[in-house]
Amino acid sequence: MLLVAGCGGKESTVTQEGTPVTLPSGLVYVDLKVGSGDPIRPGQIAVVHYTGWLDDGGKPGRQFDSSYSRNRPFDFRLGAGQVIQGWDEGVAGMRVGGKRRLTIPPQLGYGERGAGNVIPPNATLIFDVELLEIR
């Protein structure tokens, strides 16, 4: 699945594992595992594995996509608008080896339009993202 949307460019801060952080945009993230090294910055390429679900009352519901099932990581330029805004905001500040759960409100995802027959309009999305490499 191709993730498209606007540019985020906001950097998040590294937190303790398991501590939810709510950004002003409404995005919530939890570092499941904090990686090591320098954090990714806008303009750099993120190489990630991910799984995406529809939100089901604050927990993952129906899975709609996973790079793991294809055994093929996904890469994108952070902050360049190549992915949904929730990814640009939520991946910012991650470190290689880190795993982060993103809860993305509709306005930072696919909004009122949804995405085909896969993501309904106004859906809150949950992604687990693992940062494999920064280029």
Give percent above pLDDT 90 in the chain. 87
pLDDT of res. 16? 75
Section 80-87 average pLDDT: 98
d(CA 72, CA 70): 5
Q: Which residues are designated catalytic?
A: 50, 64-65, 84, 110, 127
Asked if 75 contacts 47 with a C-beta cutoff of 8 angstroms, the reply is: yes
Q: What is the 3-state secondary structure (H, E, C) of 58-124?
A: CCEEEEEEEHHHHCCCEEEECCCCCCCHHHHHHHCCCCECCEEEEEECHHHCCHHHCECCCECCCCC
pLDDT range class, residue 17, cuts 50, 70, 90: confident
Hey, how many other C-beta atoms are within 10 angstroms of the C-beta on 30? 17
Residues 79-90: what's their mean pLDDT?
98
Domain covering 26-132, topology: Chitinase A; domain 3 (3.10.50)
Q: What is the pLDDT of residue 5?
A: 37
The residues spanned by each domain of the chain are: 26-132
Record the pTM: 0.88
Mean pLDDT along residues 27-55: 98
What is the model's pLDDT at position 8?
41
Summarised one tens digit per residue, pLDDT across range 86-113 is 999 999 999 999 999 999 999 999 999 9
> Average pLDDT of the chain?
91
Kindly tell me if the per-residue pLDDT of 14 is higher than 50. no
